[in-house]
Amino acid sequence: MAENASMFDAYLKEQNIALEKKENDDGIVYVVRELLPDVGPVAVVLLFNPSDRLVTVIAYQYLKIADPAKTRDVIELINVLNAEYTMVKFTAAADFVTVQVALPFNGNFTSEVIVEMVSVLLQAIREEHPRFMALM
């Protein structure tokens, strides 16, 4: 297990936080499941890469673009949001919106930063969801 993931694992145990955990060749994955008011269920995945250089906090396909005719409007909103947000990035692919934060580390990992970025990502989803819904 990579050092950052080991430190995060220890942090979760200390804080008595239980998350789904999976290990594969690409690294270690933790899953945070939240039910957001007015949004619905959101799964946030924490991807720890084996090199300990990057942790990606991502809500894959959190929102379906049900009407393909709206895709252009959604992409325009995503461009606006990506200009407004520093850390959080929105993308659209395969008729879904994904939201992510990529955190580089170089010997300075702290679990609290990961927890804070999960919170930042969920807050961005909560705040921007009405703007997406206005387009749908």
CA distance linking residue 65 with residue 91, whole number of Å: 12
How many CB atoms are located within 10 Å of the residue 60 CB? Answer: 14
pTM: 0.92
User: Counting beta carbons within 10 angstroms of the beta carbon of residue 54, is it exposed (0 to 12), middle (13 to 18) or buried (19 or more)?
Assistant: middle
Average pLDDT, the chain: 93
Q: Where are the chain's structural domains?
A: 3-135
Alpha helix stretches (DSSP H) within 20-110:
71-84
pLDDT band at 1 (very low <50, low <70, confident <90, very high): low
Taking only the tens place, the pLDDT of each residue in 31-51 is: 999 999 889 999 999 999 888
CA distance linking residue 136 with residue 17, whole number of Å: 36
Q: What count of residues does the chain have?
A: 136
CATH number for 3-135 (one of 3.30.1460.10, 1.10.10.10, 3.30.160.60, 3.10.150.10): it is 3.30.1460.10
State yes or no: pLDDT of 26 exceeds 90: no
State yes or no: pLDDT of 17 exceeds 80: yes
